[in-house]
Structure 1
């Protein structure tokens, strides 16, 4: 498996912050599948935009300018991909593309900061609704088995009420692919106001989230993927959960593996038999 450097996930995560002209430019690069003449003059003429618009678009994506952006974009074509044939291969290719997107979005320094949050926390909460709630439960199961005092919440009213009980000893994770779940954002705002550390896992980057999220972890988006509707929306969340879990496990690894093995032994013991 090859992981390719690509700017597509960066474009997608900033998409909602673009002007209509910038969205037109973004769509061109997202949906393009062939190496072509990407000079500013050629692309500007093809899209009926100014070269200055291309420069602003590139800078909004975090690049120094259009030339820097296009250099990274062309790297996506370094390895030729075979034509997709068959439903099974199609799905596997989409999963591989999601892994590539994760590779391009993950910030290892950010993961280290989040692991430090967890290590210092008295309690950890993770919340989400629908499929995000299922991913939250999986996160609880993973971290609970290595000694983290963690609780998952997937009911709207319970999520809102939990906001009242947060303090500086807590870390709160919110899972919302869209980044727009009012209930999840409400908990993060309330928790932040009460000095808890707050982390949002989302596929969209919005400036207003920085006001109450200590960390916004970007997830790959399913929106622009062919056959994206057959892929579980939990998948990007679970991949990022594993990355954070791996980073946290690496801290005092022996101690955490002992705790994990102890939970396995507890499960293998069988049901409790009362003494006669």
Structure 2
């Protein structure tokens, strides 16, 4: 037990964690200094009993064993750069598994159906979400869609008065909490536009606003921001949508590509 990879043990057990367990796990996964049980409890504001239960949940008989394993892990981690790569691999796998558990394939198919019947698509996204939107644009413009990425609130507000029931809007946001953007989407919804929202926040407001909402994961541990690209959970969902779209409409895509090739050959 003491020689196994502690990070892998914690990551693989996360689905069974309580909110308190997650606080304790985040401390260890962030490679913080090893502390005595009482000092750790005080630092992260949990009880010592909670730390004991956490240790047992991941297979240790007591905190002393957990601390011993953690100290060894930190020593190995500092001497072996491959450990950081392995940790990223675990996090990538965890993100994919979380999204796989959350996402509804019928909703993905509905998104693809909306994409199929709309040639013009507007992507709303701020910051890192706009980077994910650019990836979406790159993929779908190659198969015949016109995609515009809108990445500031004022442009979204302006478009909410210009677009209407023939338009498809996709909003990328991990938090889904920006009220300026949501107000623009509400105006578009009232005008009959089709709205798809991809977010980790499936609140009542989001689900009522969207024709289809797709759930993705959220990077909760602030220490991991920078180690893992913030747009990665959105990119994974884009991969799922794109793969499903190609599967559903391969014949149409092949016809479009053939037509484009013929057109360019005629005008060379």
TM interval, shorter chain, is 0.5 to 0.7
> Which residue of the partner structure matches residue 154 of structure 2?
157
2:85 & 2:203 partners in 1: Cα distance?
A: 35
Question: Residue 198 of structure 1 corresponds to which residue in structure 2?
Answer: 195
Q: Residue 144 of structure 1 contacts residue 150 of structure 1 at CA under 8 Å; is this kept in 2? A: yes
Residues 135 and 88 of structure 1, relative CA distance in 2, 3 Å threshold: same
Per-residue CA deviation, residues 162-207 of structure 1 (Å, 9 max, x unaligned), is 1112222211101111111233323321211111111111112211
Unmatched 5+ stretches in structure 1: 12-24, 34-45, 48-73, 78-82
User: Shift in Å at residue 252 of structure 1?
Assistant: 2.7
1: distance between equivalents of 2:224 and 2:183? 32
Structure 1 or 2, whichever has the larger Rg, is 2
Residue in 2 that maps onto 1:41 = none
> Counterparts of 1:242 and 1:138 in 2: how far apart (Å)?
10
Paired residue for 1:95, among 74, 92, 95? 92
Q: Which of 132, 137, 146 is equivalent to 1:135?
A: 132
- 8 Å CA contact 1:7–1:104 kept in 2: the answer is no
4+ runs of 1 displaced by more than 6 Å? 4-7, 261-267
Q: How much does 1:89 deviate?
A: 1.2
- Using a 3 Å threshold, how does the CA distance of structure 1 residues 106 and 225 change in structure 2: closer, same or farther? farther
Other-structure match for 2:180 = 183
Deviations 1:91-139 (A, max 9, x none): 2211111111111111101001111111122421111011111111111
- Higher-RCO chain (CA-CA 8 Å, sequence separation at least 6): 1
TM-score (norm 2): 0.66
Backbone CA RMSD of aligned residues: 3.4
State the TM-score, normalized to the length of structure 1. 0.64
Partner of 1:222: 219
